[in-house]
Amino acid sequence: MRRIRYKEVRKVQPNYFEYTGIHNTDSVEMQLFVYDDLGYEEYKKVSLDRVRKEIEDPLQVEDVKWLNVHGLHDVKLIQDIGELLNIQNFIVGDILNVSRRTKMDELDDVLFFSIKSILQEEESSVVRVEQISFLLKDNLLVSFQEKKSDFFTHIRERIKTHSGIVRKKKSDYLLYLLLDAVMENFFITIESYENGIEALLIEAKNSYKSVFLENIEKERENLNFLKRSIIPLRDALFNLKTHQNDDGFDSIEKSNYAFFERLYQKSLELLEQIDYDLKSLDSASNVFFSSQSQRMNQIMKTLTIFSVIFMPLTFIVGVYGMNFENMPELKMENGYFVVLGVMFLTVLGMVYYFRKKHWF
């Protein structure tokens, strides 16, 4: 049974930069890709000075540059990146404050996008939540991750091997690929939940323990958490979609809006799937309560039949237990065996009648 572990976050004062996440141990590293249709260059553990040099190089103005930052606890470095791109301070604060909801903003010539990603730990039932932020400016895309992960490994391979159209497109298409990679993890997570939900539906017919309801509530809580993470993403993608005919919004090429429309449709599909799974959990609860009610009815019916059978026997015993002297049957030599026979025949007759009526 998977359980989402909620991160404890701290409140941050306005105009004060502080990383509010939990990944403070690993060193902050940056990776830079510079590519076009003809070739690419990859720089691992790159310095900010090197990044500045690549950005300001007049020979690489048209090249797409992807700077991926692993780790956010080096606040000074994040501030320096913000100054390099000339972005406003509150955007830097939103990058560092990972407790904020998913959002999308365009300010001047910079597009800011933050999204909640799902991290499944292979050797644990815990599902963690990580915030990934993106800054898109001209041909530069900067992605901020709280820690190292393999979300974008396949995208790096596509850049290296010139697979698909990624190297023929600009940085806005790269942003689409990164967002799509993050959203795919939602599908994987939901699929893993559905395996547990299917097991609960089977268990609902046979289980009568209260722990079953606890498991249902845990699954419902996890799905609702995913839903709360996806709804603002859907809203942000919808807002992005509405800028398609806005002449003042130039962060994304007109021809690439169709790709972001796909992401919007994926968000709707995710929400529909979650709603379906929530209804499945409701069905499991109903089946469980119906099974419990049926089981209780069976118990009550069994007890009632036994009670009805013993009622005439109790009456007979009560009659011959009154100890009056003038009771002819008390003087009979075989009276005891006769009464036992009558009682036995009474039981057989009642059992036959109940079976004939299909009461059991």
For residue 4, the model assigns a pLDDT of 46
Q: Do 360 and 302 meet the contact criterion of CB atoms below 8 Å apart? A: yes
Which residue's entry shows tokens 């909801």? 101
CA angle (284 as vertex; 281, 285 as ends), nearest 5: 90
What phi and psi, each to the nearest 5 degrees, are found at residue 108? 55, -115
pTM: 0.77
- CB contact set of 128 (below 8 Å; sequence gap of 6+): 4, 5, 7, 118, 119, 121
Q: What are the residue ranges in the chain where pLDDT is below 70?
A: 1-15, 119-126, 207-208, 243-250
Helix intervals (H) in the chain: 48-56, 75-85, 89-96, 153-161, 171-204, 211-242, 257-319, 335-356
User: Using one digit for the tens of pLDDT, what is the confidence trace for 175-223?
Assistant: 999 999 989 888 888 888 888 888 888 777 776 677 778 888 888 888 8
Q: At residue 153, what is the residue type?
A: T
Q: Which domains does the chain have, with CATH numbers?
A: 29-290 (3.30.460.20), 297-357 (1.20.58.340)
**Angle separating helix axes 211-242 and 257-319, nearest 10 degrees:** 160
Give the CA dihedral 207, 208, 214, 220, nearest 10 degrees: 50
For residue 124, the model assigns a pLDDT of 54
